[in-house]
Structure 1
Amino acid sequence: MAGVYFAFSAFVMQSLDAAGRATGMAAMQSINRIIVRSLFLPLFFASSLACLLLAVFGVMQWGSAGSWQMVIGGTLYLAGMLAVTAAANVPLNNALEATDACGPDAEAMWRRYMLRWLPWNHVRTVSCTVSLVLLVAAIAVR
């Protein structure tokens, strides 16, 4: 997940914006439609479940090697990736989907989308990356 979010933060969104509002907006609408029918969605939920289980296991094993890394890594993933996606990115994706890329509200919607969606994606990128480091560290110290 860290890699997917990094790609969007580092170059995908800037590329879509550089392509022009109508093109970029239509492309992002297509990405949002296709991603929910791809392998991404099962992996999204499976990784969230795995991180929940790791956090719970870390709590149950508190004090043993790697336990705090599991708790913080799993919790950070759930809060910074799952919760941010549900509370911020998905509602913005839904608002984008409801706007005609060639309609009169498209320019304002695209600007609003870029200003709000991208910072939340940066949060997901950092959260997933730090979570990954912590969970690998938990394995390394066990």
Structure 2
Amino acid sequence: MIDGPYFVLTVLGAVTCALVAGVFIGFSTFVMRGLAALPSPQGIAAMNAINVTAVRPPFMAVFMGATGVSVVLAVVTFVVWPDEGAVELLLGCALYLFGCFGVTVVANVPRNNELAKVDAASESGAEYWRTYVAEWTMWNHIRTGAATAATVSFILGLT
């Protein structure tokens, strides 16, 4: 049975993953659509501003907190190996670490870095913006699903 600090750690994992999923679903369902509807120079400027403000402590504490909790929870689960819930907890950790954190590092952040370099007023900037919106949003859907599934897996690990 999962109890004590292990229980608290698992609840913290579920809550932080759910918060991250909530932020990401907002981007997938309306933020990116709103930005895409703007003329490309304004959309690029707005997204670049969002990308700068996203790496500040309020969001990063939750995003990196979920990452840290997932790592610690995976290690503790391997060491303790509870009679019930181990598979669900490890699945939740893997979903968040690979499907959310990993996708962010290998797919979303590189696109953000490229967007910061484009000339927003140029035709090539407008072309990259269209590609960026489609690709970044697709990868964001994956992050949203992974963080949501991780939340569900942590909850299932507790039941």
TM-score range, shorter chain: over 0.9
The one-letter amino acid paired with 2:99 is G
**Corresponding position of 1:10:** 29
Pick aligned residue for 2:65 from 14, 29, 46: 46
Deviations, residues 32-87 of structure 1 (Å, cap 9, x unaligned): 01111241112211110101111222222335111111100011100001110000
Larger % of helix: which? 2
Q: After the TM superposition, which residues 47-86 of structure 1 pair with which residues of structure 2 at under 5 Å, given as runs?
A: 47-62=66-81, 64-86=83-105
How far has the Cα of 1:20 moved from its partner? 2.1
- Aligned partners of 1:11, 1:58: CA distance in 2, in Å? 37
Contact 1:35 1:41 (8 Å CA) reproduced: yes
Pick aligned residue for 2:117 from 94, 98, 112: 98
**Corresponding position of 1:37:** 56
TM-score, with length taken from structure 1: 0.92
Is 2:149 aligned against 1:130? yes
- Aligned partners of 1:98, 1:53: CA distance in 2, in Å? 36
Report the identity percentage.
37
**Corresponding position of 1:112:** 131
- Aligned partners of 1:118, 1:59: CA distance in 2, in Å? 34
**Corresponding position of 1:89:** 108
**Alpha-carbon RMSD:** 1.3
Contact 1:55 1:72 (8 Å CA) reproduced: no
**Corresponding position of 1:20:** 39
Name which of structure 1's ranges 25-34 and 59-68 shifts more when overlaid on structure 2.
Answer: 59-68
The one-letter amino acid paired with 1:7 is G
- Aligned partners of 2:78, 2:90: CA distance in 1, in Å? 6
- Aligned partners of 2:120, 2:45: CA distance in 1, in Å? 6
